[in-house]
Structure 1
Amino acid sequence: MTVSKKLTKSTPAAGVPFYTPAQDPPAGTALDTGAEVPTLFTPFKLRDLTLQNRFVVSPMCTYSADDGHLTDWHLVHLGAFALRGAALIIVEATAVTPNGRISPEDSGLWQDSQIAPLRRIVDYVHSQGQKIGIQLAHAGRKASTLAPWHAKPTQHEVATAEVGGWPDNLWAPSAIPWDEGYPVPKKMTVAQIEGLVQSFVDAAKRAVQAGVDTIEIHGAHGYLISEFLSPITNQRTDAYGGSFANRTRLLLDIARAVRGAIPAGMPLLVRISATEWMEWTGQPSWDLAQSKQLAALLADAGVDLLDVSSGGNNPRQQVRLHPYYQADMAGEIRAELARRPPGAKPLAIGAVGMVTTAEMARDIVQADGTGEGNDAEHGTRTRADLVLVARQFLREPEFVLRVAHELGVQVKGPSQYHRAPYKAPKL
């Protein structure tokens, strides 16, 4: 007796303008949902956004855009992470004004023609069942530099007008150059500051039109917003300088304005440098204590997740480097937020920096029923809700699959690669 076999056909990915099989479930999804699955491979929800695991591709500049327009380079670069299980991918720092680019080849969203190239990448990421965000930024006094592979190993070189730069049109809170030999930026007028807030709003609206799932405001690494936060680089005497309230005014104004311009269900993220690593001077600087204070204000402004990095605002910074040097600060901010009164608005935490091993990725977000971390070596509370990974994804786009393999978690891979499940390379 011959038993007929029912033939099946792949279901197309929904909501995209091309055919590709739906990834159901998306790559990176844990196939076993038992109690032994580490937090790293459990879902996480922010407003209407649900991620199937806790991996985020951190925004990484690639200096490959064409007058701010993303290209096929970005499609392949970012698409590789979506294909291999990263739940959320954040597009690199994207300038809200032309003079806010770090380099002439930076991504931008200051004009409508830049929407369609972004939309193409969004569609591909969505076709793989993954989520995508974008980091909106202004480089401030660190703008108009050459891509790093053109510069000397220890410094960024200025992009002059001859190579498409704008060294005579840098903005900053105060007219203080990045370092000796760098252009003196222009102190922004109040009208320019107010216009910048609108530029962030306009770029956010374009990002929504392109279909992104979340937006991150870049307030870290010595770019314009973090220049305003620091008393070293912000020496203004008006409403945007001096006191903590004044130095944080620009970021909070931008956060509130962007929150009001995007859908209610879309999460809003902010990246900060928890410290500028200038405590050694004995003079006022931006530090962890102020970051803790700022975190609560951002939560009240409608921000959903704080992405905790550090440094970048001063060439004389002295970083105390160890594998958890940034994750530990994220954990301190998270613990401080947990002490807020009942009913206070929540703020999730993202940790970034030197995440290269399965154990470290697991330990940063691991939690038990009481919210305590299972990190026996460090003995600290859970440091963060999401782990943001940068350079390790460049080294191995399959990082999510490798971590799952090493932790003994069965996860879904790309359907088209079913004959080649991830296996650790033989040494």
Structure 2
Amino acid sequence: MSLFTPFVQRSLTLRNRIAISPMCQYSATDGMPDDWHLVHLGSRAVGGAALVIAEATAVSAQGRISAHDVGLWNDAQRDAWRPITRFIEANGAVAGVQLAHAGRKASAQRPWEGGGALTEGAWTTVAPSAIPLDAGWPAPVALDGEGIRAVIDDFRRAAERALAAGFRLIELHAAHGYLLHQFLSPLSNRREDGYGGSFENRTRLLREVIAAVREVWPAELPLWVRISATDWHEGGWDIEQSVRLARELAALDVDLLDVSSGGLVPHVKIPLGPGYQVPFAARIRREAGIATAAVGLITEPEQAEHIVAHGEADMVLIARESLRDPYFPRRAAEALGAKIDAPAQYRRAW
């Protein structure tokens, strides 16, 4: 049963191949996680996942998607995360966090409030180039050298706080049209300096962020990166560039690529369907020689088992299915004939 075999990365042993994908809750005040986050993330650990990754966690106030995002840009936020990571770990899962900067997609409404650019309470956004996300969105400020250095330092400091908060795995968010992805894609990066133009220049910021995080993140703990394998748009970032990037990141002590897609530009046609992004993860794993995680419309136990058993990815990340069913790993184990431990308080149910 491949889905329920352990997965070892550096000093960590994940109890199975199911992880909870970062999913924004837009429910924080001043970047502080609260009881909602404890119950939301903690229930997924109780549900049997091997790894629970906290949602996109802003490395600066400017880098929030919305005014209600969680963060790790100050020590009070660090301290607020500690009871959450303790609970996750006490229930057999590894606590991970996704560090993020939204770039030009920042200063937005929550999805259930429309999801567009804020009109009240808005703040100035930044990006590689002064190109608005879409009609009705403000033009961001193009980052200068000092601004780029500040972003790198924000990621470094957030990684330090993540360690102190009890997280044991970091994922850097370089997907879905957020700042690091904006630098990668020629659709959003029109710079003519050392951070734009060529593949080497467009990937420079991500490589420098990785190096900065690795300076403070222990060698015995894994570092993951989430990428969008393609922009689904002509002239944008694509799978060929993703494979090339993956080879370079493997040499920079990145342990796994979490392979998603899209999010950079609106109004693109994406061929949605069960497991539609899995071929990207499989190709990167095969051609770049780095571990991958598969995401995207993975909803059935047999589907998840097939992905791991056939070497298409090393981990399966469950997102919206885990919102519908926090106990998906336990349901999958029953469907596949595997046995996983339950908390002592729940064992009489099995």
Q: Is the 8 A contact 1:142 1:222 kept in 2?
A: yes
Choose which of 70, 74, 83 in structure 2 pairs with 1:120: 83
Choose which of 43, 58, 75 in structure 2 pairs with 1:95: 58
Partner residue, 1:329: 280
Partner residue, 2:270: 319
* Cα distance per residue 1:349-393 (max 9 Å; x no partner): 111010100111101111xxxxxx2xxxxxxxx110000000000
* 1:209 matches 2:164: yes
Q: Is the 8 A contact 1:172 1:185 kept in 2?
A: yes
Q: Is the 8 A contact 1:41 1:54 kept in 2?
A: yes
Is the partner of 1:354 in helix, strand or coil?
coil
- Map 1:188-267 to 2 at 5 A: 188-267=143-222
Choose which of 313, 338, 344 in structure 2 pairs with 1:415: 344
Distance 2:86 2:5 in 1: 25
Paired AA for residue 18 in structure 2: F
How many Å apart are 1:322 and its aligned residue?
2.4
Paired AA for residue 314 in structure 1: V
* 1:308 matches 2:259: yes
* Cα distance per residue 1:289-346 (max 9 Å; x no partner): 00000001111111001000000000032212221211111001111024xxxxxxxx
Partner residue, 1:26: none
Distance 1:259 1:240 in 2: 21
Is the partner of 2:304 in helix, strand or coil?
helix
Distance 1:211 1:404 in 2: 28
* 1:165 matches 2:122: yes
* Cα distance per residue 1:174-228 (max 9 Å; x no partner): 0000101111111111110011101100000000011111101000000011010
Partner residue, 2:313: 384
Partner residue, 1:403: 332
Distance 1:418 1:264 in 2: 37
Is the partner of 2:167 in helix, strand or coil?
coil
Is the partner of 2:227 in helix, strand or coil?
strand
- Map 1:28-43 to 2 at 5 A: 38-43=1-6
Q: Is the 8 A contact 1:226 1:272 kept in 2?
A: yes
Partner residue, 2:300: 357
- The percentage of aligned residue pairs carrying the same residue is 52
Distance 2:77 2:346 in 1: 33
TM-score where L is the length of structure 2: 0.98
Paired AA for residue 332 in structure 1: R
Q: Is the 8 A contact 2:244 2:288 kept in 1?
A: no
Distance 2:10 2:308 in 1: 19
Q: Is the 8 A contact 1:103 1:165 kept in 2?
A: no
Paired AA for residue 62 in structure 2: N
Distance 1:361 1:143 in 2: 33
Partner residue, 1:61: 24
Paired AA for residue 335 in structure 1: R
Paired AA for residue 313 in structure 1: L
Is the partner of 1:198 in helix, strand or coil?
helix
Distance 1:39 1:241 in 2: 42
How many Å apart are 1:39 and its aligned residue?
1.1
How many Å apart are 1:129 and its aligned residue?
2.1
Choose which of 52, 66, 69 in structure 2 pairs with 1:106: 69
Q: After TM superposition, where is structure 1 displaced by more than 4 Å over at least 4 residues in a row?
A: none
Q: Is the 8 A contact 2:117 2:136 kept in 1?
A: no
Unaligned runs of 5+ in 1: 1-37, 339-346, 367-372, 374-381, 422-427
- Map 1:4-153 to 2 at 5 A: 38-151=1-114
Is the partner of 1:418 in helix, strand or coil?
helix
Choose which of 183, 199, 224 in structure 2 pairs with 1:269: 224
* Cα distance per residue 1:71-116 (max 9 Å; x no partner): 0110000010011111100000011110100000001111111111
Q: Is the 8 A contact 1:216 1:268 kept in 2?
A: yes
Is the partner of 1:157 in helix, strand or coil?
coil
Is the partner of 2:348 in helix, strand or coil?
coil
Q: Is the 8 A contact 1:278 1:316 kept in 2?
A: no
Paired AA for residue 191 in structure 2: R
Is the partner of 2:247 in helix, strand or coil?
helix
Radius of gyration: which is bigger? 1
How many Å apart are 1:417 and its aligned residue?
1.0
Distance 1:146 1:246 in 2: 32
Partner residue, 1:294: 245
Distance 2:225 2:329 in 1: 24
TM-score where L is the length of structure 1: 0.81
Give the paired residue count: 350
Is the partner of 1:246 in helix, strand or coil?
helix
Distance 1:397 1:308 in 2: 22
How many Å apart are 1:61 and its aligned residue?
0.1
Distance 2:256 2:133 in 1: 29
Q: Is the 8 A contact 1:305 1:349 kept in 2?
A: yes
* Cα distance per residue 1:5-60 (max 9 Å; x no partner): xxxxxxxxxxxxxxxxxxxxxxxxxxxxxxxxx11100001101110100100000
Paired AA for residue 325 in structure 1: Y
